[in-house]
Structure 1
Amino acid sequence: MTDNLPAAPKPALTTAQQQHVLNIIRRAAKAEIMPRFRSLASSDIASKSRPDDLVTAADTAAETMITRALQTAFPSALVVGEEAVAADPTLLTKIAEAPLAFIIDPVDGTWNFAHELAVFGVILAATQFGRPVFGLIYDPVADDWAIADSDSSARLERATGTSRTLHAAIGKPVEKLAGYIPLNLFAHHLRPKVAAALPSFARSHTLRCSAHEYRMIAQGHTDFLLTATLHPWDHAAGALICARAGAHVEMLEGGEYSAGRHEGHLLVAPDKATWNRLQKIFSFLLE
């Protein structure tokens, strides 16, 4: 008898809703991002918090289009875009309490985009009270996307209709690991210690693009990732996609990642044993 069993929880977004969100992202990329790629005027590019923290006309136009479409489709949801937060930082405080929030990075890898490098993407996450429940990382150049929700495996899908399940790398000794470590984004007083740890690995670098770094982790092409900041538009979708690809995703100090957290460091590794070895190396960040 199963009559007294609780009903299985419904997914945050139905399959049809996920497809609609994907269509919104693809339309925005086609209308507002790709026509500006390698066609930006100097007046289309501005700096924000520092000279290499850029925003372009593509960022603002795409975010406006995506936000409007999401608010129409999900009128009760909170929509938080990177550029909107730049104008109103209090939006960040609402994520942890929102039953459904959409978090958008309209052009992740803006520095690359502005310098005509084809390493950028669109990131969207849906969260429930800060917990990522849907993640989408779209590559407008290739017209393909990494996607996952809290009930399914991560997949790489293409406009051609093909799809394959994503698998993170297998664990290995520290000296054989390759990872992404954004040295320049750590606080100045931490950079010498972070830099001193880099020779421990086979390779460490950055793509200046969280979208493609998380995609590379989820595809098993790179082993680990350590964040310097916790901007939710950079990490919420990727954390879920990598976890659903089999990676171990945990805050450096322990505990699950939440888009409602704004301090600390997220560490993504192939498995718990490898994560533990990496956590020991970077434990100075917890002091």
Structure 2
Amino acid sequence: MVNYKSWLKEIDDNTKISRLSIPGTHNSAACHTALPSVQCQGASVTDQLEHGVRFLDIRVGKLFLKEGDEAKDLQVIHGKFPVKIPFAEKLTSVLDEVYDFLAHNKSETVIVSLKQEGSDDWNNSQDEFGNLIWDKYINPHKNKWYLNTDIPRLGDARGKAILFRRFGVQNEDRRREFGFDAASWKYNCEEDDRGSFVVQDYCEIQSGEIDKKIGYVKNLANKAKDYTNGNDDKIFLNFTSGSNFFDRECWPQQVAIAMAKGGIQDHFKKGSGIIVLDYVESNNWEFSKKLVDTNF
């Protein structure tokens, strides 16, 4: 029986993460009291990791109603909204959960996707956001991160967080030590191949389009399986999430229910890539367990 808390222990060190089926979560820390259109998970980040999740999607922005350095004690947000009310969920707290999990499960690795959302008043031509992430969150804990730009082998990443960088960096020297570059892909894409990674992130859906979204998820899962059967040079990233703030039927929990009814789990096979889920704890962690099991 698979131990989902330490399932990577059973996989060979030479295996690249791109060859695996990996459960991930969309807006991973959006598991607190918040607007119902903002919440995406019903279990904490620690619970997710202990049930096999190995990709975390974290979006951060400045603290609301703060200025200067105080505003840059980053909080986790979903679009324009905080994922926790009335008190902010700080990025520091989420990363501490990751570090604590890895300290107690040294066979594991966790892919951490970091993205800037919220206010647009960053001077990113001068790497303001990137420099803040480096100086405040990464460099002081550098020994806890895998920061090479390649797709790592498990043996090189065990016990560490792999940075999946969803923000641009202008400084070429810094880019060489700042993790896997996933700074951009086409917005609302059915499939976008960026060379080292392929993404399905069709996210702006209407209630009549959920079946179409389900089809895109199944299609990329099948393509990933066929590709990774003989290759390990691309990461396949497949978002099951989609939302429409103005349509309750397209809020995260409703879309997650539709995904299960639509049978996406029938397309989870060995090498399906990273499947990014909402409400991953549903049905006793069914999707996460099924994805992990395909690796064996």
More relative contact order in 1 or in 2 (CA 8 Å, sep 6+)?
Answer: 2
TM-score (norm 2): 0.27
Compare the two structures and name the one with the higher strand fraction. Answer: 1
